């Protein structure tokens, strides 16, 4: 009864917030609901098959791909598809789909243990773990240890984890049941040391092992192999996604491993994954003043590295937009962790509230750039297509300028 009241009041607040033009309203609705009923999340999750998705990068896209794949079951699926990934966003997503027997929820890395306790998930997905805007190596190790502690003692829970990320593999190893996926690890700066004993990790391609203790890459059952996925029975399938880049192919392999837990085959899921063309505005192609633009979001060093894999080759010009508001992290020193030399040979436009910080960084890498006053200023300076790469709030501002593209 209280859960219903909390959901109803929360939903009404969400609608009011939407009418007032304050975003999609889901977060405020969930916040009020949780204030009325602190156990709202566990009440709303009860009786459903819940899948939680976490990691530093790829959460939103993987959540979307799993949701698409689960569509093969022909049942309703609740999901926080727009990335509101703390408790209020999760409660709102469940409250908006009260009859959905399945829920695919993106969860902020720090909240995972608490959300596991509240939702008793069927599957937990661990993508990767690397430094975010604010976190450094010690903090992400602590995070991995908290995950590790949270996985023991949840009956019937399956973890689907990226075996190529040593921190993730170490955290997942405490779970009773794990599906190991070789999803690759592009960014390795945060995993030179063994998570178990601190010794140097030995690497050979994707393989890794500790020289001092037994910590080593587990045997994988799903593999991303170039443009193909090799499934748990050893069969290869062409991925052929609409979403660009290696990181998204890796997310798709993880999604296929997850839906297999629910009896969905690769042949059933893949056509549905291919229908996903953009995720909450990311990868969207839009036209602005006659020029085609593509929007890419990247929030941290590993994300920028993966986004550079996706951008068109030179001479396609690129806009880089950086802010340092609360959700981005106030400190822009992470910009120094990214290697920008791949941008040589193209025009680079720099914008955003912290464009000067980025300009100094580009200068150090010897990359020529032009400072611009926002996206339209850049658009006016080019003839053809343009890639746009932005961090979190800079991305939202550009979306707003372009008219809330989806």
3-state secondary structure of 14: helix
Alpha-carbon separation of residue 73 from 77, 176, 264, 276 (angstroms): 10, 26, 8, 17
Interaction mask 183-222, Zn ion, x per CB under 5 A: -----------x-xx-x----------x-xx-x-------
* Residue 360 within binding range of Zn ion, rule CB under 5 A: no
Alpha-carbon gap, residue 266 to 285, rounded angstroms = 28
CB of 209 to Zn ion, least distance (A): 9
CB of 145 to Zn ion, least distance (A): 14
Comparing CB distances to Zn ion, the nearer of 6 and 210 is 210
Structural contact between residues 62 and 254, judged by C-beta atoms closer than 8 angstroms: yes
Q: Where on the phi/psi map is residue 249: left (φ > 0), alpha (ψ -120 to 50), or beta?
A: alpha
Structural contact between residues 26 and 15, judged by C-beta atoms closer than 8 angstroms: no
Instruction: Take residue 42 and report the two structure tokens written for it.
Output: 């566990």
Query: What does DSSP assign to residue 374?
Result: S
Comparing CB distances to Zn ion, the nearer of 124 and 194 is 194
Query: What does DSSP assign to residue 218?
Result: P
CB of 204 to Zn ion, least distance (A): 16
Comparing CB distances to Zn ion, the nearer of 107 and 140 is 140
Residues in the chain: 406
CB of 215 to Zn ion, least distance (A): 4
| Helix pair 59-70, 266-274: axis angle to 10 deg | 120
Consecutive H or E run containing 78: strand 77-79
Partners of 223 in beta bridges: 182, 230
Comparing CB distances to Zn ion, the nearer of 177 and 196 is 196
3-state secondary structure of 98: coil
CB of 201 to Zn ion, least distance (A): 8
Comparing CB distances to Zn ion, the nearer of 103 and 210 is 210
Instruction: Take residue 182 and report the two structure tokens written for it.
Output: 């070789």
Comparing CB distances to Zn ion, the nearer of 192 and 336 is 192
CB of 112 to Zn ion, least distance (A): 24
Comparing CB distances to Zn ion, the nearer of 172 and 215 is 215
Comparing CB distances to Zn ion, the nearer of 15 and 200 is 200
CB of 219 to Zn ion, least distance (A): 18
Alpha-carbon gap, residue 164 to 183, rounded angstroms = 6
Neighbours of 102 (CB within 10 A): 21
Q: How many residues bind Zn ion (CB under 5 A)?
A: 8
CB of 191 to Zn ion, least distance (A): 12
Site of interaction with Zn ion (CB under 5 A) = 194, 196-197, 199, 210, 212-213, 215
């Amino acid at each position: 009864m209280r859960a219903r009241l909390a959901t109803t009041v929360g939903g009404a607040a969400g609608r009011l917030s939407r009418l007032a033009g304050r975003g999609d309203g889901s977060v405020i609705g969930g916040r009020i609901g949780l204030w009325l009923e602190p156990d709202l999340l566990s009440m709303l999750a009860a009786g459903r098959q819940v899948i939680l998705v976490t990691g530093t990068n790829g959460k939103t896209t993987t959540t979307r791909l799993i949701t698409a794949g689960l569509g093969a079951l022909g049942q309703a699926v609740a999901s926080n598809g727009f990335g509101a990934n703390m408790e209020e966003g999760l409660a709102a997503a469940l409250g908006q789909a009260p009859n959905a027997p399945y829920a695919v929820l993106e969860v902020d890395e720090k909240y995972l243990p608490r959300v596991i306790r509240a939702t008793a998930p069927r599957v937990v997905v661990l993508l990767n773990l690397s430094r975010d805007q604010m976190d450094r190596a010690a903090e992400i190790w602590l995070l991995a240890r908290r995950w590790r502690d949270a996985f023991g003692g949840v009956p019937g829970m399956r973890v689907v984890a990226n075996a190529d990320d040593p921190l993730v593999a170490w955290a997942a190893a405490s779970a009773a049941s794990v599906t190991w996926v070789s999803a690759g690890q592009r960014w390795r700066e945060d995993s030179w040391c063994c998570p178990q004993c601190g010794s140097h990790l030995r690497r050979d391609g994707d393989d890794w092992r500790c020289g001092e203790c037994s910590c080593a890459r587990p045997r994988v059952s799903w593999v991303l192999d170039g443009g193909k996925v090799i499934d748990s029975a050893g069969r290869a399938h062409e991925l052929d996604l609409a979403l660009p880049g290696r990181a998204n192919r890796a997310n798709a392999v993880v999604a296929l491993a997850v839906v297999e837990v629910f009896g969905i085959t690769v042949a059933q899921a893949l056509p549905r994954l291919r229908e996903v063309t953009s995720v909450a505005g990311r990868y969207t192609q839009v036209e602005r003043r006659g020029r085609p633009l593509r929007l890419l979001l990247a929030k941290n060093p590993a994300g920028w590295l993966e986004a550079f894999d996706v951008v068109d080759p030179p001479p396609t010009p690129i806009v880089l937009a950086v802010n340092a508001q609360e959700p981005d992290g106030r400190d822009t020193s992470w910009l120094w962790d990214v290697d920008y030399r791949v941008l040589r040979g193209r025009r680079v436009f720099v914008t955003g509230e912290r464009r000067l910080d980025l300009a100094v960084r580009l200068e150090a890498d010897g990359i020529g750039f032009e400072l611009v006053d926002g996206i339209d200023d850049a658009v006016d300076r080019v003839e053809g297509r343009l890639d746009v790469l932005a961090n979190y709030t800079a991305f939202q501002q550009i979306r707003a300028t372009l008219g809330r593209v989806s």
